[in-house]
Amino acid sequence: MSTEFDLADIKRRMAGGVQSFRSDLSSLRTGRASSNLLDPIQVDAYGALMPMNQVATVTVPEPRLISVSVWDRSMVSAVEKAIRESDLGFNPSTEGQTIRIRIPEMNEQRRKEMVKVANKYAEEARVAVRHVRRDGMDLLKKLEKDVGKDEIERHSEQVQKATDQHIAEIDQALVAKEKEIMQV
């Protein structure tokens, strides 16, 4: 069994967990409009479910307004229906091929719920990073016979350092998102 320790691969996998977390955070609704809010919506277009960005252009002309410019006129009603039926609670208004979505201000209770969701996403990301760390440490234990103990200790420290760094990134992103959500 010729397995090799690859710190770059471990760091890449940890960074993937952090990136996934950032993606989850960007889809969280704050009191401010963001084109990412519509990312989870799938539109029934041409007999198949398609992501919103494949049937329309999503822009944010104002802080509390999302504008969706549908490319095909026949798809306007399907896009509006998908937005209305999503669990995001939006009420779109249509003007020709443009759909406008006003983002209402969030109340204090809703903001606190969003912070809880953000914390849940952060914990899931931390767990993902720790799983990658565990995989790396397990691999090092298997290699202990082939490589010296000093080499294993050095690699273990590198894996722990990478873990700490990625968890710190997650914590920083969480703090920034909490601040954004709680901003009135």
Structural domain span for residue 98:
35-102
Q: Taking CA 26 as the corner, what is the angle to CA 65 and CA 168, rounded to the nearest 5 degrees?
A: 145
**What Cα–Cα distance (Å) separates residue 184 from each residue in 33, 37, 84, 179?**
13, 18, 25, 10
Q: Are residues 67 and 119 in the same domain?
A: no
In a domain, 2, yes or no: no
pLDDT at residue 2 is higher than 50: no
Q: Are residues 114 and 167 in the same domain?
A: yes
Output the domain CATH number for residue 79: 3.30.1360.40
Q: Are residues 98 and 119 in the same domain?
A: no
pLDDT in tens, 155-173: 999 999 999 999 999 999 9
Report the predicted TM-score, pTM, of the whole model to 2 decimal places. 0.68
Q: Are residues 44 and 95 in the same domain?
A: yes
Between CA 63 and CA 177 the distance in angstroms is: 17
Provide the domain count of the chain. 2
- What does the pLDDT average to over 12-28? 87
Query: Please, which residues bridge with residue 51 across strands?
Result: 42
pLDDT in tens, 65-124: 999 999 999 999 999 999 888 767 788 999 999 999 988 777 888 788 888 888 998 999
In a domain, 1, yes or no: no
